[in-house]
Amino acid sequence: MTDDSLGNSFNVAAAADDDDDLNLDNEAAEIRRLQLPTSTEPLAQDDDERVANIEFKCSSCDMHEMVHFYGRAPPFALGVKFREDSYVLRDPFQAPPPRWQSKPEFYVSLGAKCAICGQVVCKDTSCSFYYTKTHCLPCARAELKTWPVEAQSRLRKQLAAKK
């Protein structure tokens, strides 16, 4: 928590925001809700970008998720980019940064398209192999011979583990 920055007076408003965040006053809201019909206007624009709306579906296994980003440099990833276009999810296991801080957060890449055949595959060792780029396992097997022995043995190990 980088709450130290809260010390200055500018952050009084921010603290109030935090208040909201913590749902401190939810009883009042609840009663209001019980009394009035809900207004259906979207709460805020910035919540939209937090909705994952890019479909990711592995062609090898049945992994099926919605992700936030497809490409090399997710705007929310910090100091890191991918070497190829990837399906990237905001890290679901990390708390999002407080609302008033535009802090980058962490991420998970779920997969990419096979560099040879273009099929979408996930990162699972039974679906893809990464060597300079993502290969689906059938393509990797075909490509195998053009690789140095170290890469070959690593793939073989992985294929063996699959069985």
Partner 1 sequence: MGSKADKKRHSSMRQPINLVNFSFLEHRATLSDQLLTKSRHQHSLVENESDFWQFVNKYESMLRQLGQPVLPTLLSESEYLQPVPYHKSKHLALQLDEQALRHDTRADNEELQAQFQQLVLIYLDFKQKEKFNRIKKLRQAQRALPIARFKDDLRSALQATRVLIVAGDTGCGKSTQVPQYLYEFGYRSIACTQPRRLACVSLSKRVAHELLDDYGNKVGFQIRFERNRTQNTHILFITEGLLLRQLAVAPNLEQYDVLILDEIHERNLFGDFLLGVTKCLLRAKPELKLILMSATINVELFHGYFKDEGAQLLQVPGRLFPIKLRYMPPPALELKAGQATAGSSKRSQSARLDPAPFIQVLSLIDQQYPITERGDVLIFVSGVNEIDSICEAIREYAKEQTQWLVLPLHSGLALAEQDKVFDYAPDGMRKCIVSTNIAETSLTVDGVRFVIDSGKVKEMSYDASCKGQRLKEFWVSKSSAEQRKGRAGRTGPGVCFRLFTQQQFDAFEPYPMPEIYRVPLDTMLLQMVSMGLPDVRAFPFIEPPETERIEQTILSLKQHCALSVDEKITPLGSSLANLPVELPIGKMLLMGCVFPEVEQLLTLAAMLSVQNPLTTRAHTDQRCERERQPLESEQGDLFTLLRAYREWLQLKMARENTRKWCHRLGIEEQRFYEVCKLRQQFQRILESCRMAPPSDAGALNRTERARRHGELRQLKALKRRQRLEQPRQRKLLKRQHGAADTQQEEDDDAPDTEDMRDVDFRLRHDGRQLALLARSAQLERHRDVLLLKLLLVSGFYPQLAIADEFNYCKGGGQQFFHTQLKPFLSLHPNAHFAKSYELLKLSDSELHAKPDYYTPKQPLSERHQVLCYQSLLETAKPYLMNCIRLPAAQTLLLFGYAIDTNWGISRIVCDGWLALDFPQPGSGLLLLSRAIELRQRWSSRLYDKLNELNSNEKATSCAPPKAAGHDHGDTLWSDLLDFMALDVVYGIKRLLPADQKTLYNRCPPPARLMLLPANPFVQDYPLSVNSEKGGLNISEHVVYGCLAELPWTLAMETALQTQLWRCAQCDFQLEQFDVPDQLLHRLQCKAQSDGKRRQRRQSSPDPKAIVAASSSSSSSRSNGCDYHCESCGRHLKLSQIDILRHRRTCVKHKELPTKAI
What's the full length of the chain, in residues? 163
Q: Which of residues 13, 81, 156, 157 is near partner 1 by CB under 8 A?
A: 81
The minimum distance between CB 156 and partner 1, in angstroms, equals: 14
Residues 14 to 43 in contact with partner 1, rule: CB under 8 A: 15, 18-19, 22-24, 26-35, 37-38, 40-43
Nearest to 35 by CA among 27, 45, 44, 47: 27
Q: How far apart are CA 88 and CA 91, in angstroms?
A: 9
What is the H or E stretch that residue 30 is in? Answer: helix 26-35
The residue among 80, 106, 81 whose CA lies nearest residue 93 is 106
Regarding 60 and contact with partner 1 (CB under 8 A), the answer is no
What amino acid occupies position 137? L
Written as six digits, the tokens of 41 are 């206007």
Cβ nearer to partner 1, comparing 26 with 117:
26
Over the window 88 to 127, marking each residue x when it contacts partner 1 by CB under 8 A and - when it does not, the resulting string is -x-xxxxxx----x-xx-x-xxx-x---------xxx---
Question: At a CB cut-off of 8 Å and minimum separation 6, what does 109 contact?
Answer: 82, 86, 87, 88, 89, 123
Query: Binding to partner 1 by residue 50, rule CB under 8 A?
Result: yes
Q: Residue numbers of the site for partner 1 (CB under 8 A)?
A: 1-3, 6, 15, 18-19, 22-24, 26-35, 37-38, 40-43, 47, 50-52, 63, 65, 73, 78-84, 86, 89, 91-96, 101, 103-104, 106, 108-110, 112, 122-124, 130-132, 134, 146-151, 154
